[in-house]
């Protein structure tokens, strides 16, 4: 058997889009790309995978396959299917365009890369829905991973599980993803918790081709865990209804041509997460309230991207004015930004 090379490409994602906290996600034109060289089986001594990494996060990402998030997820998938080790002598070249900890779904992309890698290496031929189950054992909110896997503007929910399945799905991440030592005994980690079937369900909404995404990216990282800690456990009925009304309108409004700024701007407002996250993101309330369709023709709506700190502005034109004015507002708060004009793209591919 000859060696084989395959490529896995996963898009960045923006979750929430204002009112859809933990519900909606959008795949965007920045990618995490893995190029994998798998040598033919041989009798030579076992060689652990060699990881090489360029682009965003290159200075901080672990290159040990037993510590790196993507390869640990791949190994989790393999071990759930009775395969103890990676094939010998793998070389994995990673190139990443998705900045870490900015609200553009870097960890979701790394997790989806892992399930697709495990699926390929183990020749498991798992359907997309089952791959999503594995991803949801690692990243427990479905918005980023679903959009990264299937692409487009996507809404998803987690199925309510029975008691046994809830227990399996509630295993601490450290147990789902232990740092497998390469010299562990034969049976070590061979029985990780297998995900219940059908955890996540999704639907893709329409998306108007005229809409682009301006990602306004502050030059600091904010981990999703920190940005979730500031959220309350309970909300008022008034705030929930505020978000539900807007989300119901938004999921259709973004698919209409031409898109209606008056409808969308209001429909992208939120009372569930953004008000609480402003303590972590200086300038957030100002940027989202001072940049409007009236002041910036072409703007449709503006919100926090995922857990932040990136701001996502959806617009049909006037991109530079939106981004540069956001830059000035952030600057007054002592925050420097970079910005990128992105399009909505398809989901992950393996080729
Ligand atoms: N390509 C990658 N390879 C390995 N680990 C990664 C990769 N991308 C992200 N990570 C890990 O995920 C962490 C960032 O995850 P986090 O959930 O905090 O932010 P995010 O996914 O960028 O933002 P959000 O979830 O709000 O969109 C990084 O610090 C790193 O540990
Ligand atoms: N819905 C999640 C997305 C973060 O990746 C949050 O806002 O915390």
Instruction: Determine contact, residues 10/351, Cβ cutoff 8 Å.
Output: no
- Strands 4-16, 349-350: pairing is antiparallel
Mean pLDDT for the chain overall: 93
Query: Ligand 2 pocket check: which of 14, 18, 22, 223 to mutate, most ligand atoms within 8 Å of Cβ?
Result: 22
Q: Does the predicted interface ipTM exceed a cut of 0.95?
A: yes
pLDDT tens digits, one per residue of 277-325: 999 999 999 999 999 999 999 999 999 999 999 999 999 999 999 999 9
Instruction: Determine contact, residues 277/241, Cβ cutoff 8 Å.
Output: no
Pocket of ligand 2 (CB under 6 A): 15-16, 21-22, 141, 143-144, 224, 227-228, 273, 306-307
Task: Name the residue among 113, 23, 16, 11 with its Cα closest to residue 346.
Answer: 11
Task: Name the residue among 310, 324, 315, 305 with its Cα closest to residue 147.
Answer: 305
pLDDT tens digits, one per residue of 171-186: 766 667 766 665 655 5
Residue closest via CA to ligand 1's atom 10 equals 107
pLDDT at 279: 97
pLDDT at 231: 98
Residue closest via CA to ligand 1's atom 1 equals 110
**Is the CB of 107 within 6 Å of ligand 1?**
yes
Question: What mean pLDDT comes out for the span 26-38?
Answer: 98
């Amino acid at each position: 058997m000859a060696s084989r090379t395959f490529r896995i490409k996963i898009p960045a994602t923006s979750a929430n889009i204002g009112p859809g906290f933990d519900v909606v996600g959008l795949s965007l034109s920045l990618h995490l790309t893995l190029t994998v060289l798998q040598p033919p089986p041989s009798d030579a001594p076992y060689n652990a995978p060699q990881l090489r990494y360029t682009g965003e996060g290159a200075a901080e990402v672990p290159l040990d396959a037993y510590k790196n998030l993507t390869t640990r997820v791949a190994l989790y998938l393999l071990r759930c299917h009775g395969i103890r080790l990676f094939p010998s002598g793998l070389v994995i070249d990673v190139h990443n365009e998705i900045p870490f900890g900015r609200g553009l779904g870097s960890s979701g992309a790394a997790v989806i890369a892992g399930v697709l890698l495990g699926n390929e290496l183990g020749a498991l031929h798992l359907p997309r829905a089952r791959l999503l189950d594995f991803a949801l054992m690692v990243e427990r909110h479905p918005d980023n991973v679903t959009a990264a896997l299937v692409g487009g503007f996507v809404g998803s929910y987690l199925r309510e599980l029975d008691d046994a399945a809830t227990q399996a799905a509630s295993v601490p991440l450290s147990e789902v993803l232990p740092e497998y030592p390469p010299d562990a005994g034969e049976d070590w980690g061979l029985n990780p918790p297998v995900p219940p079937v059908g955890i996540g369900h999704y639907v893709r909404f329409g998306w108007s081709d005229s809409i682009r995404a301006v990602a306004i990216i502050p030059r600091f990282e904010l981990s999703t865990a920190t940005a979730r800690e500031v959220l309350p456990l309970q909300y008022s009925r008034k705030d929930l209804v505020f978000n539900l009304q807007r989300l119901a309108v938004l999921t259709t409004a973004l698919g209409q041509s031409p898109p209606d700024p008056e409808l969308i701007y209001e429909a992208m407002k939120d009372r569930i997460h953004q008000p609480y996250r402003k303590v972590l993101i200086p300038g957030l309330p100002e940027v989202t309230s001072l940049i409007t369709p009236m002041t910036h023709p072409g703007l449709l709506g503006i919100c926090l991207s995922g857990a932040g700190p990136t701001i996502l502005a959806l617009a049909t034109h006037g991109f530079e004015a939106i981004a540069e004015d956001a830059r000035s507002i952030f600057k007054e708060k002592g925050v420097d930004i970079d910005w990128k004009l992105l399009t909505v793209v398809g989901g992950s591919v393996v080729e």
